[in-house]
Every structure is written in C-alpha cells, then in structure tokens.
Amino acid sequence: MKKISYFSLRLKIAVFILIGTLIFSAIILYITHHYVYRTLTDSLIEQGHIVATNISELAAEKIIEEDIISLKTIIEKNKYNSNIEYILIEDFSGTILTDTYNANIPSAIITGHSETEFNDERNYGIKLISGQNPGTEIYDIKQPIKEGLLGFVRVGMKKSFVDDKIGETIIYLSLVFLIGTFLAITLTIFIITLQFSRPIAHLTDMAYKISMGDFNKPVRVQVKNEIGILAEAIERMRESLKSSIERLKNR
C-alpha cells in the first residue's frame, strides 16, 4: 500500500494559523501604534508646555526691564531636556528678543508659527513645523507672556523622539508576535499530529487492510474524540466482517 502523508493537512492548518495570527498582529500593531503615538505626542507637548510656562513666568519682569541678558540666561537654564530643539522669546510684535540659536535661527522656524491658532481651553498654541535639518519636524509650542501683552515663549520639541519610540515599540512587538506565532504553530502541529494526523493515518491503513481481507489485526486508537469513535466503529465493522466470513467458510 502506498503510504498516505498527512503533511498537507498540517501545512494547511499551519498556514491558516499563520494568516490569522498575521491579521491579528497587524490589527494589534495598528491600535498600539495609534495609542502610543498619541500618548507620546501628548507627553512631549506637555513637557514643552511646562518649560514654556516656567519661562513665561520668569521672563515677564525681564521683558519689562528690557534685560536681554537675563532672558538669555533663563532660556539657557531651561534647555535641559534633550528633546528640546530650541527656545525663543518674542515680544508682542513678533520680534525675537533672545534664543538658543545665538541669533542664527533657521528661516523655517522664524516663519513657522506666524499663524498659530490658540485654543481657549489650554491658552497656548501648537504647530508642527519643519526643523533645521531636511526631513525633521518640530512641535512648536507658543506660550503667551501676560496673555500676549508682553510677548511669547516658543519651545520647539523634537518629533523624532516620538518617531524613535514608536519604531522601537513596533520592532519589539513584532518580535514578540513572531516568536508567539512560531510557538503557536509548533504547538498546534504537535497537537494535530498526536490527536489527528497519526490516528487518521492509522485508521486509513487499517481500512485498507480490511478492504484487502486482512481481519486479524484489531483497530486501536488511544484518543478520546471523534477519531476514537470512528476507530471503534471500524473495529466493530472488522469484527463483524471477520465473523461473517468465518461463518461462510464453515458452511
């Protein structure tokens, strides 16, 4: 008898599991990307807002006194966060009084926040602008000083922080899903082999022997499922055929 291979069954099930896992993983990664992106962006903007608020409180008096040196000292002391690209202080007309670029401010940053809209609830503006280097983006946070009567503090927060963290998170989750998929497929194939493939192959072999007139070997399958019920039915059929043939021979 040609031996029947049930590898194709295991392969098909493995492919179905793989496709299902990939679809599920893609959905989870999309949801995770959206949630983490929103969370990290909010956290980054909040960091910039806190810095801008602190500077605006300290800068009000210095602007009135026209103490530019003290304003410069204030912004330099507050540029402690590696995610901060720049800090600027403008007067009410938009003229930059001091900055962390030492007056070499990129034109994209100078014009980037000229039309910022302020939200009444948060009382500060946010705009995504182009950075100094090509392809970079910055969240420009504009905080009024004394409701804008004295000027504004602008803090630029690097969007690359969010992008880098998102990339690290997606890579980590992808590796977890990849390992999990491999383990799930391996475990499933192992269970299928024990519970289905081997018993089915054995029953196929026994059915072939019975069809060829070999009734001597009993059908034994040590599984308690539908395959076991089928094995019991084949065993009863074997015994019945064997008894019938023996009766015919005796006649």
Task: For residue 150, give the DSSP letter.
Answer: S
Nearest of 124, 184, 179, 180 to residue 155 by alpha carbon: 124
C-alpha span between 142 and 153 (Å, rounded): 6
Please state the CATH superfamily assignment of the domain spanning residues 25-159 in this structure. PAS domain (3.30.450.20)
Per-residue pLDDT at 1: 44
* Mean pLDDT, 10 residues at a time, the chain of 251 residues: 52 77 85 89 92 92 91 88 90 87 77 54 79 82 89 91 87 85 79 72 81 79 75 83 80 68
Domain pair 25-159 / 166-246, same fold: no
Residue spans of beta strands (DSSP E) within 164-239 = none
Per-residue pLDDT at 155: 92
Answer CATH for 166-246 from 1.20.120.530, 1.10.8.500, 3.40.309.10, 3.30.70.580: 1.10.8.500
Per-residue pLDDT at 5: 47
C-alpha span between 77 and 58 (Å, rounded): 12
Per-residue pLDDT at 16: 80
What residues does each domain of the chain span?
A: 25-159, 166-246
Question: What element of type H or E holds 209?
Answer: helix 198-211
C-alpha distances (whole Å) from 214 to each of 11, 120, 209 are: 32, 89, 5
The maximal CA–CA distance of the chain, rounded, in angstroms, is: 127
104-143 CB burial, b ≥16 within 10 A, e <16: eebeebeebbeebeeeeeeebbbbebbbbeeeebbbbbbb
pTM above 0.85, yes or no: no
